[in-house]
Amino acid sequence: MIVDTGAYILSLILVLLACVIRDFLIPIFIWRKHLKGRSFGYCFWFAIIFQASMQINLVLFLGIFNILNSFTYITFNILIYLLILWNYSDKKFFQRLRNFFTGLWIAFKEERLIGYLKRHLIFLYKSIYRKIYYWSIWRKVKNNWIEILLLLGIIIYNIWFLTHNLMIYHCYQYSDIPVHHSWIWELEQGNLYSDGIYPFGMHIMIYFVRVFFGLNLREIMLYTGAYYFVILIIGVYLLAKEIFVGKYNSLAAVIITSLMLNQGRYGAALPQEAGMYAVVAIGYFMIRYLHRDKKNNIIETDSRLRNFVRINSYINKKYIDSEMLLLMLSVSLVISYHYYTALSAVFAVIAIGLAYIPKIFKKQYFIPLLFCGLFGALIALIPTGICLAKGISFQESIDWAKTVIAGESWHGREADYQEKLVMALGADEYLINASLKDDSEKLDSCIMENSAAELIKSYIKAVYNFTSRSMFGKKPTKLYFICMITGFISGIIMVLSKKNRVYGYDYIALIIMVLIFFTLGASKELGIVELIAANRASTFAEPFTGLIYLLPIDFIFRVLPYNFSMGKLSLLICCACPTIIINAGCYHEFFDFNQTYYNEAEYVLRNIKKSYKKYSYTIVSPTDEYYDVIDHGRHTELSQFVNMINKNEDKFFFTTDYVFFFIEKLVLQDYYYGRVKVDLKYALKDFIYMEDVQDYYYQRAVIESKAYFWAKKFHEMYPKNFKVYFENDIYIVYLMEQNTYFPYDLQIDYLEDYKDTIESKVNEKCN
């Protein structure tokens, strides 16, 4: 298999650079005056939250009014950015511009234009240099260079780890990613919600990269997951800094999370995982707000009743500052990214609320938080309501979510496809997969009849089983629960101290939140409603792994006097974490990779796009290449082509001068036969064309074998115009050159050389 490492690394760098420019360089430049003097945490959250909120709502606005295209999108972006710059300027831009051109004209008339331009360029250079030299960031870098280097190391490690397998198997990691790919391509055509209403946060942010940078969509989809996980890790680091006292304890937390991560979904471009940073942002801003001492706004002339119902006194700049507005936008983002992400945010808010019960229901805290939450949800839901009013229905996955909650089996297109295929071929043609059988066994519901002690014991067992199976294994899980218990006790102790009370609440909030996620994951074993699919619940808890493990250590730092030596101890703990994790056998392995297509397909197609003019060629291949070629050439489904050469549909011809046939010699994966070489026995089987992408999942060996023997025969008939363009031990690509006015008749008897074999097979069946 081809591994073009250089090209893959270049694509990775370009995608990461484009995302950094989109999420940080552009918003930081535009809002530089607002961000001046702000903390690193505020600048980070402001940049990414503002940019995501703006882009998502802009695309939804343009899509709702059916004016979404690259021109309007770029134009509106430029206008919005210019308005922001103008708002923060001294409003003398045009005056300075006029003075410059007046001086330029005078210099031109007096024949000193070169000197004038040179002087202005030198002045501009010195001005920029002076501004950069006096940036406050250099002082922060000097004072925190160890912390910055460690954080950069964590970022680089995560990018390397999450893209390691992509550098070997350069393809999508999950079967649903091509669906998201297709929706983004439809956005490029101006079609919002082409397959029904669905949270489009991730799709819109990728659409930005496509429109402004023109990168290959497939490459963006491959590396977006790693980028968003890095954003999530930085967010968790900032959250940890709000809770932990040791200077490097927050870094130790994200090191543990990074080295013990075992959810492969975080390495893929999936909406739920992409939006998890917004969940962390909600926790971050809620905790920061609840850490402050806010006084109750009491008006002496008010009666007790009026003072109790007074609300508007808490909806102003005094209580709702810029951080609270970012909290509001974060709420809208979790809904915009994925429904499950929104649900996890709800549980995070519940956990923080329960921990902060003595404080959160005070009006000076409750009303601003409630206001921001409601308006954040409203920002996200208004576009959805408008689309529903326009007659756009929800996407199919909503039905899947309903079946999960109802505890039923999801029978989508896949189950229907299998049933239709078996009926068309006959039950004896294929072994009916066990998944077609109704194996949904009812859980024993007698747990409800047990005593309280037995219920608690059953609950602990179910949660432990889920955690050990889905996340860590037995030994790390035991240590995890010990840290949770220790952290909870520490939190209770800290609540008794006024100095550390809010941090005690934070400890308790973290533990409650993780327990909620674990309970959701163990819901099937517990016999309760499965609000979230079990395999998704662990992805919610995963980012907070390091924080839980560090709770006892941070408590020790709080009770002991903190001085310079404690800072060194914190650094020592941070540096020791990797060694401890590796020696304890807790270091994660590279994720299993569900290869969906060979690297050869991407490699050959990339070279074809470079070598041939646009739309001068047609690619005949599975659906995987469709969206990669559609903007450069034509595409025909290999399954449809095989159906045509079998004379099961009307004859068709190709309208381009060049036609490339992508055929697997070693079938990637067939549902019934596995990974097999193309063979006559598969070519002799019946192929039922269902006009569905699942044709390649259930009948791939048959499709590839028929295409292979057809191409072999056609090559014998027309060796000059039907050539091998590329071949190795697992893949072959044929190139057909034709005169489009006199195209080839492709319906040939490609199995005529095997008539004796066919007759013997027929006789065997008859006997």
Determine contact, residues 299/310, Cβ cutoff 8 Å: yes
Q: What's residue 294's pLDDT? A: 74
| Residue ranges making up the domain that contains 193 | 5-86+94-295+316-389
| 298-311: average pLDDT | 56
- Would 628 be classed as within a structural domain? yes
Q: Give the separation between CA 410 and CA 656, rounded to whole angstroms.
A: 42
The number of domains in the chain is: 4
- Bridge-based pairing of strands 634-637 and 617-621 is parallel
Q: What's residue 562's pLDDT? A: 56
In a shared domain, residues 170 and 198: yes
Does the pLDDT value for residue 561 go beyond 80? no
Three-point CA angle 338, 12, 170, nearest 5°? 80
Q: How confident is the model at residue 623 (pLDDT cuts 50, 70, 90)?
A: confident
- Would 311 be classed as within a structural domain? no
Q: Which of 450-454, 658-662, 697-701 has the highest mean pLDDT?
A: 658-662
In a shared domain, residues 522 and 624: no
Amino acid identity for residue 741 in this structure: Y
pLDDT tens digit string along 71-96?
999 999 999 999 999 998 888 878 87
pLDDT tens digit string along 359-396?
898 888 999 999 999 999 999 999 999 999 999 888 87
DSSP class of residue 308 equals H
| 139-149: average pLDDT | 86
| Residue whose token pair is 């939250």 | 49
What's the token pair of residue 13?
């760098």
Please, how many CA atoms are within 13 Å of residue 462, restricted to the half-sphere of its CB? 23
In a shared domain, residues 497 and 530: yes
What's the token pair of residue 710?
């057809």
pTM, full prediction: 0.89
In a shared domain, residues 411 and 461: no
In a shared domain, residues 75 and 208: yes
Does the pLDDT value for residue 6 go beyond 70? yes
Q: Who wins on pLDDT, 728 or 397?
A: 728
How deeply is 166 buried, as exposed, middle or buried, from its count of CB atoms within 10 A (0-12, 13-18, 19+)?
Answer: buried
Q: Who wins on pLDDT, 495 or 397?
A: 495
Q: Give the separation between CA 324 and CA 344, rounded to whole angstroms.
A: 20
Q: Give the separation between CA 505 and CA 287, rounded to whole angstroms.
A: 9
- Would 115 be classed as within a structural domain? yes
Q: Which of 97-101, 411-415, 481-485, 496-500 has the highest mean pLDDT?
A: 481-485
Closest CA to 641 of 613, 663, 670: 663
pLDDT tens digit string along 733-746?
999 999 989 998 99
Scanning 356-473, the segments in alpha helix (DSSP H) are 357-360, 363-389, 397-406, 413-425, 452-470
Give the range among 25-29, 557-561, 637-641, 648-652 with minimum mean pLDDT: 557-561
In a shared domain, residues 455 and 401: no
pLDDT tens digit string along 324-345?
999 999 999 999 999 889 999 9
Percent residues over pLDDT 90 in the chain: 54
In a shared domain, residues 496 and 478: yes
Sign (positive or negative) of CA dihedral 749, 753, 757, 760: positive
| 283-300: average pLDDT | 81
- Would 589 be classed as within a structural domain? no
Q: How confident is the model at residue 564 (pLDDT cuts 50, 70, 90)?
A: low
Q: Which of 238-242, 245-249, 667-671 has the highest mean pLDDT?
A: 238-242
In a shared domain, residues 252 and 117: yes
- Would 126 be classed as within a structural domain? yes
Q: Give the separation between CA 226 and CA 19, rounded to whole angstroms.
A: 11
Question: How many beta carbons lie within 10 A of that of residue 629, not counting itself?
Answer: 18
Does the pLDDT value for residue 432 go beyond 50? no
Q: How confident is the model at residue 433 (pLDDT cuts 50, 70, 90)?
A: very low
Closest CA to 374 of 327, 341, 310: 327
In a shared domain, residues 150 and 252: yes
- Would 310 be classed as within a structural domain? no
- Bridge-based pairing of strands 617-621 and 731-737 is unpaired
Instruction: Among 556, 583, 610, identify where a domain stops.
Output: 583
- Indicate left, alpha or beta for 191 from its phi (over 0: left) and psi (-120 to 50: alpha): beta
Q: How confident is the model at residue 445 (pLDDT cuts 50, 70, 90)?
A: very low
- Would 591 be classed as within a structural domain? no
Does the pLDDT value for residue 581 go beyond 80? yes
Q: What's residue 401's pLDDT? A: 61
Q: What is the mean pLDDT of the chain?
A: 87
